[in-house]
Amino acid sequence: MTSILRMSAITSLALLALAIMALCASTPAVAQIEASALDPERPWAAEGDRLLAEGQFAAAENVYVQLSAEHGQDAGLWTRIAWARLQQRQLAGAIEAAVRATELEPQDLDAILMRAQCEAAAGDAKAAATTLQKGLDIRPGDQALMESLAATFIALERWPEAAGLLRELIRMNPEEASYYMDLGRILLTGGEYGEAVAAFGQARIQGADGAQALAMTGKAHLAAGQWAQARSEFDQSIAIHPTADAYGGLATIQYLEGDPEAALAGFRRAVQLAPRDADLQFNLANILIQTGDPERAERAYRTSLQLDPGSAEAHLNLAILLLNRFEIAEAEQHLRVATQADPGLPGPWLHLARIAGARFEFDASRRNYERYRELVQDPDEQSRIDEVLLELDSQVDASRAAVARGEIHLLQARVADQATASEMIDRVRRGADFFLLASEYGDLGERGAVDAGFMDPASAGDAFRAEISSLDVGQMTGPIPVGELWFVFMRVE
């Protein structure tokens, strides 16, 4: 496994889209629409405003769109259209209308906030951050804008900028406990454990949930290697009331101390308290592997990936579990996703290299081994891969020499009946591994092996010669009867 336990500090911040929606709900344009059926500045929009206030979003949009023929240069109208479309989850149309509003009135804060809300709802945190920054330039020091921009920076993992905004918010309102909690989480994520402890301590002074603040303080001490202090804080947290962070942190210590059974119980309790925490599901899966329960581990990995599809480590660990069951096709899919999610993670490249090598895809195997060697830090492992590459080169040279002699490389399966042979062929065509199925279905015993090696087609027996001579690389013969048995061949080189 590439990773045993994973701990995230950013676990309880509000969703970005919801944070910005809350901000926009307090802006003048939206407040007027909700509070009154008639905007004094736009009496011509009164009917649409009434429908919008009543929640009849489609009808309101129709009214506003009709009004655009006469009032199409009014930014407030396009802001309303964006709001109506957003409530119907017409995200592309909402963004289009919001952009139109900001083009008409680049300095209009209501239009800017609506655009940020639409961008956030569409999952484009980067665009939302840019838009919110424009709003902050118009209204410097606006607390609600700063809170939403900080949340956006957190979503983008732009920790220094988020921390800077939170420190400014603390200067403006030093009694707000949530600012200290969020700052502490950022500092913990960035490895600034001492400052994180101080921030969580200040959050407790300002009235934050004591159990949660203690649990996060414990996580900071745990990350710093101060196990005894962390255990004390986790115990104190649980004594106030149970939290997933405290149980998860305590379970991590128990695992590190060599008590996987206690750790398993702790992570199960943590998952009960926070079933949608991807890190807890991931850690539970790893402990289940350690305690010999791969079926439940697989379910936990899949749950973790449902919650966090971009987790390269979860894709890798699930792939390893699947490889151990010889489910190579799905394992390879997860490994490829892992390389896309985190190209700097070494493990997926190693397993992809092995899979390619087992398929005699030597060029792909070499590329993946070389990438793995670039990423892995252990000098001993680098030396081992150097030896693997030398062996691979020797194998490639031998293969090319055999091909130059007119020989072909075959895998073979020998099964009891035609139906079994046909089933095997069908499964291979749908992505299953020939070698594994030949071992599963076949009965080669001492008289043969799945890898038949290189051979000259002309030297093959009469029953096989014609069929194997016509094979291209990657192709299989049909079932070939020989006595009471049936053979299937696949050309791999």
DSSP 310-324: T-HHHHHHHHHHHHH
Mean pLDDT, residues 32-47 = 62
Banded pLDDT at 311 (limits 50, 70, 90): very high
pLDDT confidence of residue 21: 37
The kind and range of the H/E element at 223 are: helix 210-223
3-state secondary structure of 451: strand
The kind and range of the H/E element at 125 are: helix 125-138
Torsion of Cα atoms, 129 then 131 then 137 then 140, to 10°: -60
Percent pLDDT > 70 in the chain is 90
1-173 falls under which CATH superfamily?
Answer: Tetratricopeptide repeat domain (1.25.40.10)
Query: pLDDT digit string (tens) for 248-295?
Result: 999 999 999 999 999 999 999 999 999 999 999 999 999 999 899 999
Of the candidate CATH numbers 3.10.50.40, 3.30.390.30, 3.40.50.720, 3.30.960.10, the domain formed by 407-491 belongs to 3.10.50.40
Mean pLDDT, residues 147-174 = 90
Q: Quick check: 445 pLDDT over 50?
A: no
Go through 115-136 and write b for each residue having 16 or more CB atoms within 10 A of its CB, e for each that does not: bbbbbbbbebbebbbebbbbbb
Query: pLDDT digit string (tens) for 332-358?
Result: 999 999 999 999 999 999 999 999 888
What are the domain boundaries of the chain? 1-173, 342-403, 407-491
Q: What are the angstrom distances between the C-alpha of 283 and each of 6, 251, 330?
A: 6, 10, 22
Report how far residue 103's alpha carbon sits from residue 98's, in angstroms, rounded to the nearest whole number. 9
3-state secondary structure of 410: strand
Mean pLDDT, residues 126-136 = 88
Instruction: Name the DSSP class of 173.
Output: -
pTM: 0.72
H-state helical runs in 291-417: 294-307, 312-324, 328-341, 346-358, 362-375, 379-404
Q: Mean of the per-residue pLDDT values for the chain?
A: 85
3-state secondary structure of 235: helix
Of 46-50, 212-216, 243-247, the one with minimum mean pLDDT is 46-50
User: In the structure encoding, which two tokens stand for residue 287, read together?
Assistant: 């402990």
Q: What are the angstrom distances between the C-alpha of 55 and each of 26, 97, 117, 284?
A: 17, 19, 18, 43
Mean pLDDT, residues 153-168 = 90
For the stretch 91-98, contacts whose Cβ atoms lie closer than 8 Å and that sit 24 or more positions apart, written own/partner, are 91/118, 91/121, 91/122, 92/122, 94/118, 94/121, 95/119, 95/122
Mean pLDDT, residues 327-331 = 89
